[in-house]
């Protein structure tokens, strides 16, 4: 078998994937979503209400029914077994859902912290820019300053023009 006919994705240092594994592979994300769904359902008021109705019905049936039809006579050991079994599965699923929520909260906290750091850096940069603009504006002539300087220059020009006109009028009268 030459290099041209060999599959380009096959590598010698990797085992071949034939689709059959020795142990089943579970997608942790899918299992996590399932556990969150179960925990969300178990933590609802509807579940508590239905569970209460089932337990009361179980108790009433096992108390009132004829002795031959009672599947779980007093002291209700089978009911206790079922509730223990339900709790033994519910607790780890609820903890798994809480751990996933904690991980999401941690990621959200880190993103919020990074966003806050960027906002602080941007605010600091803008504050420095505003301070430098204020300093630069202190060196720039304002409109009022320019107007007063122009008025002073105009009055100086007018005074010089008046002086020139007087000198010319005085030299014209002496001739």
Task: State whether 151 and 113 are in the same domain.
Answer: no
The two three-digit tokens of residue 77, written as one number:
């050991």
Task: State whether 35 and 47 are in the same domain.
Answer: yes
**How far apart are the C-alpha atoms of 148 and 161, rounded to whole Å?**
20
* Positive/negative CA dihedral, 53, 55, 58, 63: negative
Task: State whether 82 and 134 are in the same domain.
Answer: yes
The pLDDT of residue 1: 47
The answer to whether 94 touches 43, Cβ cutoff 8 Å, is yes
Q: 3-class SS at 136?
A: helix
DSSP 141: P
Interhelix angle for 77-139 vs 28-42, to 10°?
110
**Domain-located, residue 19:** no
Task: State whether 130 and 94 are in the same domain.
Answer: yes
**Domain-located, residue 63:** yes
**Domain-located, residue 159:** yes
Mark 71-83 as b/e (b = at least 16 C-beta within 10 Å).
ebeeebeebeeee
**Domain-located, residue 20:** no
- What is the residue range of 73's domain? 28-139
**How far apart are the C-alpha atoms of 131 and 161, rounded to whole Å?**
45
The total domain count for the chain is: 2
The pLDDT of residue 42: 86
Nearest to 97 by CA among 165, 18, 38: 38
Q: Which residues of the chain have pLDDT under 50?
A: 1-3
The two three-digit tokens of residue 129, written as one number:
């820019």
The pLDDT of residue 16: 66
The pLDDT of residue 72: 85
**How far apart are the C-alpha atoms of 5 and 14, rounded to whole Å?**
19
Please tell me the pTM assigned to this model. Answer: 0.49
């Amino acid at each position: 078998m030459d290099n041209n006919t060999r599959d380009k994705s096959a590598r010698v240092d990797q085992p071949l994937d034939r689709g059959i594994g020795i142990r089943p592979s579970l997608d942790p994300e899918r299992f996590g979503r399932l556990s969150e769904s179960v925990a969300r359902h178990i933590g609802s008021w509807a579940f508590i209400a239905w569970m209460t109705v089932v337990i009361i019905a179980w108790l009433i049936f096992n108390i009132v029914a004829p002795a031959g039809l009672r599947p779980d006579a007093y002291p209700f050991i089978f009911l206790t077994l079922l509730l223990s079994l339900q709790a033994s599965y519910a607790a780890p699923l609820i903890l798994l859902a809480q751990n996933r929520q904690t991980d999401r909260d941690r990621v959200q906290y880190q993103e919020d912290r990074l966003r806050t750091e960027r906002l602080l850096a941007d605010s600091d940069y803008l504050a420095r820019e505003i301070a430098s603009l204020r300093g630069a504006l202190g060196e720039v002539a304002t409109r009022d300053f320019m107007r007063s300087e122009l008025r002073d220059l105009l009055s100086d020009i007018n005074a010089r023009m008046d002086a020139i006109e007087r000198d010319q009028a005085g030299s014209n009268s002496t001739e």
